[in-house]
Amino acid sequence: MKSGFVAMVGRPNVGKSTLTNRLCEEKVAIVSDKAGTTRDSIKGILTKGETQYVFIDTPGIHKPKHLLGEHMTNTAIRTLKEVDCILFILDGTQEISTGDQYVMERIVEAGNTPRIAVVNKSDLFSDEEYSAKLQEIKEKLGEFNDVIMLSSQFGFGVERLLNSLKEYMIDDCWYYPEDMYTDMPVYKIIGEIVREKLLERTKDEIPHSIAIEIINVNKRDEGQKDKFDVNIYVERESQKGIIIGKGGRLLKEVGTEARKDIERLLDRTIYLNLWVKVKDKWRKKKPFLKELGYYLDEE
């Protein structure tokens, strides 16, 4: 029995969460096309044969513009120092940018932890583009213990990645039961489900301005529905109106879709009540961020 911890890092919106879900063969992290979807580190667990891989999906590393962004980047950077291997996720359809180089600098600062470059969306490559990408990685980012070309969407390259990781899984025990795929608390998952449904239906600045808080859980007896009361926070009155939608339509759609996913998660029917509230500039307010579980004083 062997196990180890693997950091999934990269710029925002390069496919870290999609790859985490693919590797764990379960939906561990919410996914959207909005940068900054992942706000905290999320553990995804895969036990395969005698090896247990613990993947830590992290927020995209970037130069922060507010306290929430600072928390997100600090969370990712801190994770680099706590793992047995680092996966640097790159979007293979884009040239390596200064943002990628910024991430690489943080990886180098973390020490001599083994690192693997993972080039996502490589199913779109020709042979010439494959060779060119390898050369670009070497010239702009430096040396890696391995470079893996894969596709999170189709699973191409995943087995090769797991085989490459196996030699770095050096702990002589498993940290989690064999059938466990995440250690995230159920109520945290419920909040993330609600946020995912909102991200799917909003655009521009609104997805970044949304925060979720479960304010009440009323557990009922067997045969009765549990009730969840959830606050959705935004930063401006105009955003509140957009999320509620004309005649409450958008909020109702979010509630219906979120409830279905939560019921599948809990394997029971529930009541889900959503409330939209305005908290001005909440991303810049440390006391409120701490209430939401972002422990900035520890960073």
For residue 45, how many other CB atoms are within 10 A of its CB? 23
* 83 shares its domain with 144: yes
Both tokens of 82, joined, read 């706590």
Cα–Cα distance for residue pair 279/299, rounded to 1 Å: 24
The continuous run of DSSP H or E covering 2 comes out as: strand 2-9
CATH number at residue 25: 3.40.50.300
pTM of the model: 0.88
According to the model, what pLDDT value does residue 299 have? 47
The Cα 121–Cα 171 span in angstroms is 31
Specify whether 72 is located in the same domain as 198.
Answer: no
129 and 201 within one domain: no
Does residue 146 fall inside a structural domain?
yes
Quick one: 138 and 218 in the same domain? no
Q: Is the domain of 215 the same as that of 78?
A: no
Strand partners for 147: 117
CATH number of the CATH domain containing 241? 3.30.300.20
Of 166, 198, 231, which one is at a domain's C-terminal end? 166
> Residue 25 — φ and ψ, nearest 5°?
60, 25
Backbone angles phi, psi at 230, to 5 degrees: -130, 130
**176 lies in some domain:** no
Domain boundary among 109, 135, 166: 166
- Tens place of pLDDT for every residue, the chain, 299 residues? 999 999 999 998 888 898 999 999 888 888 888 877 888 889 999 999 999 999 999 988 888 888 988 888 888 898 998 999 999 999 988 999 999 999 999 999 989 999 999 999 888 788 888 889 999 999 999 999 999 999 988 888 999 999 999 999 999 999 999 999 999 888 899 999 999 999 999 999 999 999 999 999 888 777 778 899 999 999 999 999 999 999 999 999 999 999 999 999 888 899 999 999 999 999 999 899 988 887 665 54
